[in-house]
Amino acid sequence: MTLGHALRRIIEEYPLARLDPPAGHPLAHVIRRGAADELRAALAPFGSTYLVKGSPGRGTRWAAVPWLAAFDPAVTTSATQGYYLVYLFPAHREAVHLSLAQGTVAAIREHGPRAGARLRASGAALRTRLSDFSEALPVAEITLGTAGELPEGYEAAHIMGLTYTLADLADERRLWADLANGVAAYRALKARGGLDVAEEQISRTLRSP
């Protein structure tokens, strides 16, 4: 298996897999193990120990949006807080997003109904901070094709990234090169202050039309 093959399997098989319970399902194993192993292998050349997790959902329920993520333990170890790199699989199209993303659950807990607007405003300010990566990671907004607090939170929490179609996933070199750019942006964000965005910047973004 390669990283591209693993991502393709998730895209193609997830809609049908959701008709069965996730416990013991082969695709759940691919997301948690096989795809995670391929992402670890792709991250190995960068010389840092990233925590890699894949989530098809919890307990007896498949996730509306499965994900495969890499966390810098010095920043965060979960998708609930901090910031991280993640592959997100939309429900409405055969594609996958590579996203440098902010944690969603912590924002929801702190800001409630205003969390989405706050995350988008923070994301806009962070894109400015990472403007030297805008050409390599040009996608500033993503859609996941399903309603719900978490999917909508993932959309709002996106900072920058890329979107792949099925055809794009055949180019393993491109996937690894793009991942290298994602890691570089992740490291740059850490070096440039992380999510510590001035309140006045967020307020200014929220006020803008």
Q: Percent of the chain, pLDDT > 70?
A: 96
Sign of CA dihedral 135, 136, 138, 140: negative
Residues of the chain with pLDDT > 90, as a percent, come to 88
- CATH fold, domain 3-207, is BirA Bifunctional Protein; domain 2 (3.30.930)
End-to-end CA distance of the chain: 46
Distance (Å, whole) CA 94 – CA 161: 17
Higher pLDDT, 48 or 38: 38
pTM assigned to the model: 0.94
Residue 197 has pLDDT above 90, yes or no: no
